[in-house]
Structure 1
Amino acid sequence: MNCTQKPDSIQKRIIELEQELIDLRRDFHMYPELGFQEFRTAEKIENYLQKLGYETIRMAKTGVVTILDSGRPGPVLMLRADMDALPITQNNEKDYKSRNEGVMHACGHDAHMAMLLVAARVLIENKTSLNGKIKFVFQPNEEIAGAIHMIEEGVLENPKVDAVMGIHVWTPIDSGKIAITPGPVMGGLDVFKITIHGKGGHTGLPEDAIDPIIAAANLIQTSQIIQTREISNLKATVIMFGKIKGGTKSNIIPDKVELEGSIRFLYPGGPDSEEKPTQRFIRVAEQVCATHLCRCDINITHENIPLINHKEMTALARETAIEIFPSENQIIDNQTIASEDFSEFSEKVPGVFIFLGTGNEAIGTNLSHHHPKFDIDETILPKGVEMFVRGALHFFEKANRLSFLKQK
């Protein structure tokens, strides 16, 4: 809604529920759980929903799903929040600091669950305004591609989902802004593990050994030609090494070195695209190792595909945001090479993934995601709830103009 309008019944209701919203987020934050271990989290979600009159089911071990049926014919919209935390020790002294040592909600999933729960409350109170069904999905293990497990167990079926929406709080964007962008918005992700095998020996007699360390060093540098010399700079590709393990003592040439890292890409197709970043990486790794008389074992895990927002769902979400944010200048575009397994849902049904700005330097919420002092600006949470609620209402109101529904 623009700044000249008075709050309507939906916004008033969300304001009334703001403390409940914050309390939910802080409770989830205090008791974080890793992927597929979100047992307390799932139970809390179930209890909240069941008290509102929802029937819940479990999927993918700790995932929670419920359906709001308007009782009238219409499409099915899925709203999704992720549940899992990260293996990080929290390094700040908030009252709601993690009680689970070595585990922390350092990515905002606690906020996502809280926003979707309160949205479920507001939407069931406005059930008469709907024509169709809403499927609320609380998904485990987003950090390690948990979405595919829910898909394999049928989360997009019974009833068949027609469209999907997700929201991610985002500290790189200032509080009070929201990013809704058509096309590619988050990167695909392949994770690699490489073991380079050489021949151990004495550092004083390197000619009698085959040094896997120098091969590893060469591979780290040479692989960068893929993103700077072989693939267009207009097609974002990033190859990063995050772990190197090798050797036991300063005067011993080890017989092997282990490397781990990631390949990220912001274009459709990813490893199967014309650019083939992962295949190129394997070629370089094998040839560099051969040059150094080493051999290598390469293991690739395809974690996430690129997240691509559907044009019509994006337009619908931007129209929704205009009603919520005072100025159109607060509605921006954003792309990131970071990955998100929401992409598995949006590849199969038209979807939109929204970034809700929560960066506020004055209160220290501008730190990057996965930082041990990560926190969010809680004043933005009601805006996220309102995006879920109004986004759902607009989806049903304007369903007859969406081409992908007309084709059903």
Structure 2
Amino acid sequence: MDNLRQLIEQQFSYVQGLRRLFHSHPELSGQEFSTQQKILAELAAMGIAARPAAGTGVIADIAGGLPGKTVALRADMDALALAEELDTSYKSQNSGVCHACGHDGHMAMLLGLAKIFTAQRHELPGRLRLVFQPSEENFPGGASSMIAEGALTGVDAILGAHLWQPLDSGCMAVLTGPVMASANQFSITVQGRGGHASMPQQTVDAILTGAQIVAALNTVVARSVDPQAAAVVSVGVFRAGEAPNIIADSAFIHGTVRVFDTELRQAIFHRIEEIATGICQAAGASCLVELCAGYPPVINNSAAVVDAVVNAGRQTLGAAGVVPFRPVLAGEDFGYYLEQVPGAFMFIGAGNPAAGITYPHHHPKFDIDEQALVGGMEVLARAALNLLSN
């Protein structure tokens, strides 16, 4: 498609309008009912047969007029339980829910590409699979259910893109190998023996015991993990006690483990259990340790697919637009797709400091530079066309 950029620019107002519509009407994981209906309606208007999947997701195919392979493009759909603080015409109308991660733009880009490729299907080699996936933000995620319902059946490769605020609009990044981490959780319930604060000798202080556990957990990465391996152990919740004159009977600790290696995850889980059990035993307390393995790491498993994305990025944004990138310890359930088929997950720059678009993902003032939608669509389109015909 020699006029691809022109075709994309012609669809900008359509894509921007969809992005703002989705942004104004966000829905939480597993509750994307109106979002699903809008996507189905848009695809039907294009003449694309689509079907619901995984409850609130959508799967659709665009069959090209030329022989080729089958390539899937995935967009996630869900929003976050967060009260938005943007003051824009497209501010969330759903109290306590907002698209603070860019999924609104992902859906809009994929629908824009669907419109272009449908109109140009006589030039399209192979088959394009559109995967609109719910519940990316909420474990266990929607990817596994989409796969179980045929999202990857017959697919030769899959591409995913994330609008990424830390990168400036007009840039993109991709790399072979680990890209995003496995996001996992743990919880520790400490059971002590409560009592009067004036008589601590009669108690087993759950707060003191829990505090020692929290402090010790911060040594796991520093002292139990190879310094050349990437890992994070963070405690996000420490809850205990209700009154200043009562020694707490129990304490609750909840945290996350981020790694790129599932064997390292198991080793860290084992160390967490050892630390909690050992400290509790020494204090005369007991504990319940619960470990939850989350999404697998996102690992771009095909150098050939990554090369196709890099070439698409250079064609779209110029050589300087494809920037170096280090793996991030955030999680994404796109890793499930990459466990099944070759593929690549890329980052499309969406920040713009000059326009005040500087707030990070999952912040109540998060927004994107909407010009990033144009570049993101073109990179995805060019990479998909390359893979469809090769």
Q: Cα offset for 1:73?
A: 4.4
Cα pair distance change 1:103/1:79, threshold 3 Å: same
Does the aligned pair in 2 maintain the 1:86–1:106 contact within 8 Å?
A: yes
Does the aligned pair in 2 maintain the 1:358–1:366 contact within 8 Å?
A: no
For 1:340, which of 291, 307, 332 is the aligned residue? 332
| Residue number in structure 2 paired with 1:197 | 191
**TM-score, structure 1 as length reference:** 0.91
Does the aligned pair in 2 maintain the 1:129–1:393 contact within 8 Å?
A: no
For 1:59, which of 35, 46, 53 is the aligned residue? 53
- Bigger CA drift: 35-44 or 388-397? 388-397
Q: Cα offset for 1:269?
A: 4.6
2:298 equivalent to 1:307: yes
Which whole-Å CA distance do the structure 2 matches of 1:80 and 1:54 have between them? 16
Q: Cα offset for 1:192?
A: 1.5
Which whole-Å CA distance do the structure 1 matches of 2:75 and 2:249 have between them? 46
Which whole-Å CA distance do the structure 2 matches of 1:306 and 1:60 have between them? 22
> Deviations 1:232-274 (Å, cap 9, x if unpaired)?
12211101111121111111112111111110012355535xx
Does the aligned pair in 1 maintain the 2:85–2:364 contact within 8 Å?
A: yes
| Residue number in structure 2 paired with 1:26 | 20
Q: What SS is found at the alignment partner of 2:368?
A: coil
> Deviations 1:161-215 (Å, cap 9, x if unpaired)?
2211000011111221101111101000111122111111111111101111111
| Residue number in structure 2 paired with 1:387 | 379
Q: Cα offset for 1:346?
A: 0.8
Q: What SS is found at the alignment partner of 2:146?
A: helix
- Bigger CA drift: 79-88 or 259-268? 259-268
| Residue number in structure 1 paired with 2:313 | 321
Which whole-Å CA distance do the structure 2 matches of 1:127 and 1:91 have between them? 41
1:85-100 map, 5 Å: 85-100=79-94
Q: Cα offset for 1:326?
A: 2.7
- Bigger CA drift: 233-242 or 77-86? 233-242
Q: What SS is found at the alignment partner of 1:277?
A: helix
> Deviations 1:345-374 (Å, cap 9, x if unpaired)?
011111100001112122222211100111
Q: Cα offset for 1:385?
A: 0.9
Which whole-Å CA distance do the structure 1 matches of 2:137 and 2:253 have between them? 21
| Residue number in structure 1 paired with 2:273 | 282
Q: What SS is found at the alignment partner of 2:238?
A: strand
Q: Cα offset for 1:320?
A: 1.0
Q: Cα offset for 1:8?
A: 4.6
| Residue number in structure 1 paired with 2:359 | 367
1:393-404 map, 5 Å: 393-397=385-389, 399=390
Q: Cα offset for 1:278?
A: 1.8
| Residue number in structure 2 paired with 1:182 | 176
Does the aligned pair in 2 maintain the 1:194–1:298 contact within 8 Å?
A: yes
Aligned residues: 387
Does the aligned pair in 1 maintain the 2:30–2:134 contact within 8 Å?
A: yes
Which whole-Å CA distance do the structure 2 matches of 1:151 and 1:291 have between them? 47
For 1:140, which of 134, 137, 140 is the aligned residue? 134
The AA in structure 2 aligned to 1:162 is D
Does the aligned pair in 2 maintain the 1:367–1:374 contact within 8 Å?
A: yes
Which whole-Å CA distance do the structure 2 matches of 1:163 and 1:31 have between them? 32
Does the aligned pair in 1 maintain the 2:68–2:126 contact within 8 Å?
A: yes
2:373 equivalent to 1:354: no
1:260-275 map, 5 Å: 260-267=254-261, 269-272=263-266
- Bigger CA drift: 40-49 or 383-392? 383-392
2:3 equivalent to 1:9: yes
Cα pair distance change 1:18/1:162, threshold 3 Å: same
Which whole-Å CA distance do the structure 2 matches of 1:153 and 1:284 have between them? 41
| Residue number in structure 1 paired with 2:119 | 125
CA RMSD of aligned residues (A): 1.5
Which whole-Å CA distance do the structure 1 matches of 2:162 and 2:118 have between them? 23
Does the aligned pair in 2 maintain the 1:243–1:260 contact within 8 Å?
A: yes
| Residue number in structure 2 paired with 1:406 | none
Cα pair distance change 1:328/1:96, threshold 3 Å: same
Unpaired segments ≥5 residues, structure 1? 1-6, 400-408
2:201 equivalent to 1:207: yes
| Residue number in structure 2 paired with 1:404 | none
The AA in structure 1 aligned to 2:288 is D
Cα pair distance change 1:24/1:381, threshold 3 Å: same
The AA in structure 2 aligned to 1:38 is E
Q: Cα offset for 1:154?
A: 2.9
**Percent identity between the two aligned chains:** 37
Which whole-Å CA distance do the structure 1 matches of 2:290 and 2:152 have between them? 30
Does the aligned pair in 2 maintain the 1:198–1:295 contact within 8 Å?
A: yes
Q: What SS is found at the alignment partner of 1:188?
A: strand
| Residue number in structure 1 paired with 2:33 | 39
The AA in structure 2 aligned to 1:150 is M
- Bigger CA drift: 198-207 or 326-335? 326-335
For 2:147, which of 133, 145, 151 is the aligned residue? 151
Q: What SS is found at the alignment partner of 1:104?
A: coil
Does the aligned pair in 1 maintain the 2:24–2:90 contact within 8 Å?
A: yes
Does the aligned pair in 2 maintain the 1:364–1:375 contact within 8 Å?
A: no
Which whole-Å CA distance do the structure 2 matches of 1:268 and 1:365 have between them? 35
Cα pair distance change 1:117/1:269, threshold 3 Å: farther
Does the aligned pair in 1 maintain the 2:313–2:322 contact within 8 Å?
A: no
